[in-house]
Amino acid sequence: MDSAVDWYGAKALLEWYVELGVVDAVGDKAIDRYALADSSPKPARKAVPDPVATPVEPVRRNHGAEALTRAEAADSLEALAEAMRGFDGLELKRGARNFVFAEGNPEARVMIVGEAPGADEDRVGRPFVGRAGQLLDRMLAAIGLSRDHPDPGRSVYITNVLPWRPPANRTPTPDEAAIMLPFVRRHIALVDPDVLILMGNTPCGALLGRTGILRMRGTWTIAEDRAVMPMTHPAYLLRNPAAKREAWADLLEIQAKLRETA
């Protein structure tokens, strides 16, 4: 007699076991559970995340201190130019085409400090060569001065607070001017002029600590141990031709000062 259980019989038998409440299957042979190794599940160990490295704050360069160190180490105009050329403290340097240092007779009695190079200056690497520079040359010629005259008494030396053109010819920010101030002061000390002309608000803010060129122009003051005349920038005169009369009065004041201190 065949005692094998077919599929349908096995299914019916299993359903009957379930109705009886059977939850564990028993094998043909007895098993001593106490003799078996402990195989009870152990609580999972909580994963400890790898320690997160504290981000290291990048070392911020003190550009003002670096500019001061570079400027003080420069013992000549050539050395100062190299120190400034290698200075990376201004982000706008990356967008400039040329480094614009200075032009004129370094022994001149008159030194002019402007704001920053424009598009023309950036293109050729010389200060005050655009329309404003051409007007400046005519203004200086009216009182017997020029940037290329060999006589220190009849020549001028011209530079800017910033040696690189700001984007879109914008006005230099006070922070940018402050960073470059040690170079400007060293530049003045090396040239050692009798008269210093500050053209525009940027050099006035940097060297005099105040702005408002339309109020300040035409009045002598002292900075860097020498006579200083604030003047409106030639670019302003191109936009406001009526202001040329006041600029002419300022030029006459400069001419008289040079005669007094000859």
Class of domain 65-260: alpha beta
Model-level pTM? 0.77
Closest-CA residue to 159 (of 215, 198, 194): 198
Rg, C-alpha atoms of the chain: 41
Residues 100-141 have pLDDT tens digits of: 999 999 999 999 999 999 999 999 999 999 999 999 999 999
Residues 19-60 have pLDDT tens digits of: 666 666 666 666 666 666 666 666 666 666 666 655 555 545
Q: Which residues contact 96 (CB under 8 A, 6 or more apart)?
A: 117, 122, 164, 165
Average pLDDT of every residue of the chain? 89
Please say if the pLDDT value at position 200 is more than 90: yes
What are the sequence ranges of the domains in the chain? Answer: 65-260
Joined tokens for residue 203 = 């050099």
pLDDT of residue 206: 97
Residues 80-92 have pLDDT tens digits of: 999 999 999 999 9
Q: Which residues contact 252 (CB under 8 A, 6 or more apart)?
A: 143
Residues 158-169 have pLDDT tens digits of: 999 999 999 999
Tell me how long the chain is: 262
pLDDT of residue 33: 63
Question: C-alpha angle with apex 86: 120 to 82, nearest 5 degrees?
Answer: 80
Residues 135-161 have pLDDT tens digits of: 999 999 999 999 999 999 999 999 999
Classify burial at 108, counting beta carbons within 10 Å of its beta carbon; exposed 0-12, middle 13-18, buried 19 or more. Answer: buried
Element (H, E) at 16: helix 7-20
